């Protein structure tokens, strides 16, 4: 039977020949009662190695200690990898060299036996594997400390990837987390390393692992992100809920090429890698733009985002399209925080450095006592100006031009002046620092202010489109409220002697007056946009280019004269309709 995929076959790229990873087979780890003693023994070795690293030259000390801690987490796997990823975010506590080592954390594990994987899958589907799948590959195509992935095929030809949770993974987590909680609670009670926020970090680890130990969370995330990312032009594999559960996740297999595979080919045979891009009409710059714009939309408009955009989770398709994989770390942020942070990035993109510094101080509250706020503000502004200058120099490494490098510098300023760690900023920083690594690999010439400005212009267009829809439906929404108030209005219409109108009448009058004001303002604003964009000479005589009105109008994307006229007339007509309704009342 011919293989069938849900993805449009026209988007499937030609193969890029890379050496496929093979996995050593070992029995699943047992959740032994001696596990705490094993952890204590391994941790004692860690402490000894860290002490010995203290005798290394000062210039190498931080990176050596980071490498030692990284190896420790890689050896333990599972929950410890997540802890390592969280520590890598703590640029406010550790040196940059130490954190850079932790960002290199890799899930180095062996695969467990196929017979065990088959039993877990059959327990989930309630039938033999042959009843659901015409073909099942015993050799896993991926393995990690919490799961491994097998390729299979439905009887109708659909290719799928089956993610299977490791045996004993949940029990191992319970033992390891109890051990970690005991130590973190002790450190918190002794008030050691207050800046670490031990208990908050512990809760973050617990949340991350709990969700990854139950695939129903990832299934829900995939279904949500398929809808969200479709609007961004990004593909998400189709899940199959009827075959999925807590320990098994079945989704569409996408026969594409991950950015990680492209990077490996680029190192081995750069000419072949570039030829493959040309062969599949893939523009590296466009891929970078799509990924960056999508992440910003996820964070600041959708408030749900993929938290692990490393090269292995991004698949390149034809015509510069991309697909995302692995939705185990989908999360959201506080809405108020993301609104202010979006304004902060917008100010950076538009070169409003003073405004950006003010917004950074706003989201970094509470302010430390006796702080010289103007001094901190000046240092933030200097850091942002230097970063913008670096972004224009492509000869400088992308790590110096990235968004995460700017965040790290500002984080160091905040530490110096005694600001408390902001966990939301740290999480956000880790999210786009992971993407920074990917952009560095696929498009090292990236210019971040240009990407931010491009996103901002798209955001304005989407906001205007949404506002026009809101204006157009305003009369209908007013009518939707009518059934709530009309009975009261009819009942009170015979009370001629009552001197005051009812609360319903007051509300409707208030609503109509504000609608009239809003719509009239919209008509005037579109007239201003028309003159600013199509009659600049007249506009400059009426308003100063540095004025607030000019600044507001200049933020509107280029609009044709006809569209300005149509939008203005629509707003004027609706305002007139509201005015007539007021007069009748």
List residues with catalytic annotation. 308
Rounded Cα distance, 19 and 301, in Å: 39
Look at the block and give the residue holding tokens 């989770």.
313
The phi and psi torsions of 351 (rounded to 5 degrees) equal: 80, 15
Look at the block and give the residue holding tokens 């080919």.
265
The phi and psi torsions of 234 (rounded to 5 degrees) equal: -115, 140
Q: Closest Cα to residue 223, out of 208, 212, 238?
A: 238
∠ CA 448-365-185 to the nearest 5 degrees? 100
DSSP state of 25: B
The phi and psi torsions of 177 (rounded to 5 degrees) equal: -70, -40
CA dihedral 434, 440, 446, 451 (to 10 degrees): -10
Token pair recorded at residue 143: 């393995």
> For the chain, how big is the Rg over CA atoms in Å?
29
∠ CA 7-13-17 to the nearest 5 degrees? 130
Helix (H) or strand (E) holding 134: strand 133-136
Rounded Cα distance, 13 and 277, in Å: 9
Look at the block and give the residue holding tokens 């933020």.
555
DSSP state of 452: H
Q: Tally Cβ neighbours within 10 Å of residue 95.
A: 15
Do you find a cis peptide bond into 159, omega within 30 degrees of 0? no
Rounded Cα distance, 381 and 385, in Å: 6
Rounded Cα distance, 213 and 355, in Å: 43
DSSP state of 250: E
Contact 319, 282 (CB under 8 A): yes
Do you find a cis peptide bond into 167, omega within 30 degrees of 0? no
DSSP state of 28: P
Rounded Cα distance, 366 and 116, in Å: 52
Per-position DSSP letters for 262-330, written without gaps between them: HHHHHHH-HHHHHHHHHHTT--HHHHHHHHHHHHHHIIIIIS-EES---GGGEEE-GGG-EEE---TTE
Contact 380, 360 (CB under 8 A): yes
Rounded Cα distance, 582 and 585, in Å: 5
Look at the block and give the residue holding tokens 């007539």.
580
Token pair recorded at residue 493: 């219409």
DSSP state of 9: G
Strand 305-306 vs strand 322-324: parallel, antiparallel, or unpaired? unpaired
């Amino acid at each position: 039977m011919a293989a069938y995929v849900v993805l449009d076959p026209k988007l499937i790229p030609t193969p890029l020949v890379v050496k496929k990873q093979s996995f050593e087979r070992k029995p699943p780890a047992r959740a032994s009662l001696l596990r705490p003693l094993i952890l204590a023994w391994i941790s004692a070795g860690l402490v000894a190695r860290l002490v010995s690293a203290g005798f290394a030259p000062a210039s190498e000390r931080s990176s050596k200690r980071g490498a030692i801690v990284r190896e420790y987490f890689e050896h333990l796997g599972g929950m410890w990898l997540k802890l390592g990823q969280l520590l890598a975010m703590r640029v406010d506590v550790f040196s940059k060299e130490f954190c850079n080592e932790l960002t290199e954390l890799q899930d180095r594990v062996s695969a467990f036996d196929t017979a065990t994987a088959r039993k877990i899958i059959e327990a989930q589907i309630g039938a033999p594997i042959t009843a659901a799948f015409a073909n099942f590959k015993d050799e896993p195509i991926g393995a990690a400390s919490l799961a491994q992935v097998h390729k299979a095929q439905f009887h109708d030809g659909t290719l799928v990837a089956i993610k299977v949770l490791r045996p004993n993974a949940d029990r191992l987590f319970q033992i390891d987390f109890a051990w970690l909680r005991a130590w973190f609670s002790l450190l918190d009670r002794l008030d050691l390393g207050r800046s670490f926020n031990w208990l908050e970090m512990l809760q973050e680890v617990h949340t991350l692992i709990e969700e990854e130990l139950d695939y129903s969370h990832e299934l829900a995330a995939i279904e949500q992100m398929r809808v969200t990312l479709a609007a961004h032009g990004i593909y998400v594999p189709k899940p199959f809920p009827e075959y999925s559960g807590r320990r098994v996740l079945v989704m569409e297999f996408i026969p594409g090429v991950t950015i990680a595979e492209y990077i490996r080919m680029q190192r081995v045979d750069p000419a072949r890698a570039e030829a493959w891009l040309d062969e599949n009409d893939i523009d590296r710059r466009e891929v970078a733009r799509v990924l960056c714009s999508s992440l910003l939309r996820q964070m600041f408009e959708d408030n749900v985002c993929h938290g692990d955009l490393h090269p292995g989770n991004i698949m390149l398709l034809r015509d510069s399209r991309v697909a995302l994989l692995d939705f185990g770390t989908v999360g959201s942020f506080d809405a108020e925080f993301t609104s202010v942070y979006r304004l902060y990035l917008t100010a950076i993109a538009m070169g409003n450095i003073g405004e950006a510094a003010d917004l950074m101080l706003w989201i970094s509250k509470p302010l430390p006592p006796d702080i010289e706020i103007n001094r901190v503000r000046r240092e933030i502004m200097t850091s942002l100006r230097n970063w913008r200058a670096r972004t224009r120099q492509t000869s400088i490494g992308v790590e110096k031009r990235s968004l995460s490098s700017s965040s790290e510098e500002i984080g160091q300023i905040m530490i110096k002046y005694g600001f408390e760690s902001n966990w939301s900023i740290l999480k956000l920083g880790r999210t786009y620092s992971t993407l920074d690594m990917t952009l560095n690999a696929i498009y090292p010439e990236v210019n971040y202010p240009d990407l931010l400005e491009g996103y901002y212009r798209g955001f304005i267009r989407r906001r205007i489109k949404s506002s026009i829809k809101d204006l157009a439906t305003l009369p209908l929404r007013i009518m939707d409220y009518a059934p709530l108030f009309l009975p009261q209005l009819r009942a009170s219409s015979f009370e001629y002697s009552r001197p005051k109108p009812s609360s319903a009448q007051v509300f409707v009058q208030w609503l109509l007056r504000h609608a009239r004001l809003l719509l009239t303002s919209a008509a005037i604003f579109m007239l201003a946009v028309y003159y600013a964009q199509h009659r600049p000479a007249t506009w400059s005589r009426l308003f100063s280019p540095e004025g607030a009105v000019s600044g507001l109008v200049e933020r509107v994307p280029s609009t044709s004269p006809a569209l300005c006229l149509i939008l203005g007339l629509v707003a004027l007509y609706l305002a007139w309709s509201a005015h007539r309704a007021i007069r009748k009342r």
